[in-house]
Chains A and B, each alone.
Chain A
Amino acid sequence: MVKKFLFFLIVLLLVVNVLGTQNPFQGTKDETYYMVTFLSGISFWKACFSGFEAAADMLGVTAVYTGHPTFDINGEVTVFNQVAAKNPAGIAVTAVNPDAFVKPINEAVNNGIPVVTFDSDSPSSKRYSFIGVGNKNAGAAAAHFVAEVLNGKGEVALLYSIGQGNVEQRVQGFLETIESSYPDIKVVAKVNDGGDQLTATKNMSATLQAHPEIDMIFCVDGVAGVGGAQAVKETNNVGKVKILAFDVDPAVISYVKSGIIEGTVVQGMSAMGFWSMMTLYLLHHNLVPEAYIPSFIDSGVIIATKENIDEILDSQGLTPMGLPKKK
């Protein structure tokens, strides 16, 4: 009798203990994390949010997407400040301007709200981490791909928004890798895409006429990809001049599938969102000492080609056409 009773007591104690232990990686639905962006309509952020939301679902918390539809600094800062006033569990923000966001982020952090930046950083602010593409690494990955396509030898042109910070870093990474690893590849032209497709096409077409020896173009940003492909088509160079593009504009995707573009560098958009949420959660729940939160998390890039582009798009929460998947 006593033995049975003791056994029952032990089992009861174990059950209570297990029930009582909470899994630190399960939050509650009233814990709300926000993603704040500029240009809130573009599919790039939707891909980022798909990762943010996936992490939220895993952790059992709530994720909300918000932002301002244009590039207006006041617009995005106002949204950020009003979100911060709601005392959320955490905010992941992509800063339309790094300096303008220093005060707003610092105020939020001083009020005890964990803040991380993704894609576009505000390095002078008190954000706990920046999750984004290591632009130099992306440039290096691009260089290896170009070298592979050209078998280590050839003439290359670059098409990009000259002067734009993150793009210039990609170019730097590309040039450094070419110089150190591929001495038989020459960069013969650096063409400005002017931030719009028409300018990109016009300038690249002119360059192709002036440099008929170009074997491949590296289009270092989204706009360049469409413009570069258009220029190759219009100068009857399809098949003769190969293209490596950047990002997954629907037009670029269709060019990759039709073979006009060899490959495109796809940023780990979904990873940006995913690791933003994970970091915010860890901070909110004090699961990791602040000093051990990496100040930069490289969300990585993959080069998509005709063979694997659908799979890669899917992993980013996008349809084969490059549009956000409907939930």
Chain B
Amino acid sequence: MQKIAEKKQNVEKTVDNRKIKLSKFKREFFLVLTIIIVGVILSLLTPYFLTKGNLSALLIGLSAEGFVAIGIVMVMITGEIDLSVGGIMALSSVVAGSLILSGKNVWVSVLLGFILGSIMGVINGWLIGYRKINSFIITLAMMGMTRGVAYILTQGSPLAIGGVPQSFESLGGGNLFGLPTFTVVFILLASISGFGLKKIKAFREFYFVGSSENSAKLTGLDVPKIKMRAFVLSASLASLAGIFTLSRFLVATPNTGNGIELRAIAAAVIGGTSFTGGEGSILGAALGVLIVNLLNNALILLNISVYWQNFVNGLLLLSVVLIDNLTQKKSD
């Protein structure tokens, strides 16, 4: 009896997923349209929007957030949340910076910082996937601990790294094909992850786990391992964001990435990722990151007080969620 009920649930979920896929496509289309409209309006209102300087600043400014958002989408698809990404970003950047200052080779230092940050993902994954502890609480605690270590290592002060090879500097600070390298790498990572989520089993399993953990387990999927995978990817992307930020500014500060977790989550949700799991889009999240930063850019271009930033970002998120809510009611 139970099995039949569950099978019925699975069929319903498949139908739901098809509905969701359609609305997901509509969401991305809606975001692209909004971005184009905002872009056109801005270019009419000010001649400075479509300048190399402004677009460069816009793109490089959103890139770290972009890296983090990719990881957050994958975690959220599995039905979990990761609040520790900002702290991990600070930790990896500070550890790399400290090692560089102690005389170690730049690339070795950076690798070690990256690995340490990724290990935080392993810890998250173990506690959440295997010990089955609530992800909000665990990643909240990890957020405190990773950022705390960053503060301890730096004693609160920024670490300026100098005399690094040009090859390292060009990661976060250089240009490739006319765009900031930081942004090109973001686009690359987003494309790979987006493709992975559509075609590669190891990524598609995130959706199954997020849609119904029980069903996933029953079909023989190793749920804890899949969750671990998501958290490690999220932590690795956050660490990479920290390393690129270190390269860009040549400074490691303990408050790097403060608040980035909430911005990335907002971008993911704006892009169509569901808070309850089973649904998410990298393209959507990337568009979400773009639209939020575009609106902030508009505030600066139009000389509107920067205090409107928080309000506008919150309003955008609310609007998107409301639209979701209203359109869902219709299909019910």
Give residues in A with beta carbon < 8 Å to B.
40-41, 64, 66-74, 77-79, 81-87, 97-100, 103, 111, 163-164, 195
Contact = CB atoms under 8 A, between A and B. Distances in A.
A62 to B, nearest CB: 9
Contacts of B300: 66, 79, 82-83
B310 A100 contact: no
B17 interface: no
B39 interface: no
Contacts of B56: 81, 85
A66 B305 CA distance: 7
A254 to B, nearest CB: 26
A97 B54 contact: no
For the complex of A and B, the 5 pairs showing the least CB-CB separation, nearest first, are: A85-B53, A81-B57, A78-B61, A85-B54, A100-B249
Interface stretch (B18-26, B107-115, B140-148, B251-259): B251-259
Contacts of B303: 64, 66
A87 B48 contact: yes
Contacts of B156: 163, 195
Nearest to A75: B61
Nearest to B54: A85
Contacts of B224: none
Given A79-B300, A82-B58, A100-B250, A73 B256 contact: yes
Contacts of B256: 72-73
A290 to B, nearest CB: 23
Please classify the interface of chain A as helix (H, G, I), strand (E, B), loop, or mixed, using the class held by over half of its residues: loop
Contacts of B259: 70, 72
15 contacts: A41-B307, A66-B300, A73-B256, A74-B61, A74-B64, A74-B249, A78-B57, A79-B300, A79-B306, A81-B54, A86-B301, A99-B250, A100-B249, A111-B53, A164-B157
Nearest to A161: B156
Nearest to A104: B57
B306 A68 contact: yes
B258 A72 contact: yes
B164 to A, nearest CB: 12
B51 A85 contact: yes
A82 B228 CA distance: 39
A3 B36 CA distance: 72
Contact of B255 (A71, A77, A78, A111): A71
Contacts of A67: 306
A229 B56 CA distance: 48
B101 to A, nearest CB: 13
Interface in B150-192: 155-158, 160, 173
A99 B173 CA distance: 13
B309 interface: yes
| B48, B56, B307: residue with the most chain A Cβ atoms closer than 10 Å | B48
A99 B250 CA distance: 7
A99 B48 contact: no
A82 B307 contact: no
A157 to B, nearest CB: 22
B251 A81 contact: no
Contacts of A86: 46, 48, 54, 301
Contact of A100 (B54, B251, B307, B309): B251
Contacts of B253: 71, 73, 97
B215 interface: no
A82 B250 contact: no
A100 to B, nearest CB: 4
A103 B170 CA distance: 13
B71 to A, nearest CB: 18
B316 to A, nearest CB: 17
Contacts of B309: 69
A73 B56 CA distance: 17
A69 B173 CA distance: 24
B245 interface: yes
Interface in B284-305: 296-297, 300-301, 303, 305
A69 B307 contact: yes
Contacts of B60: 78
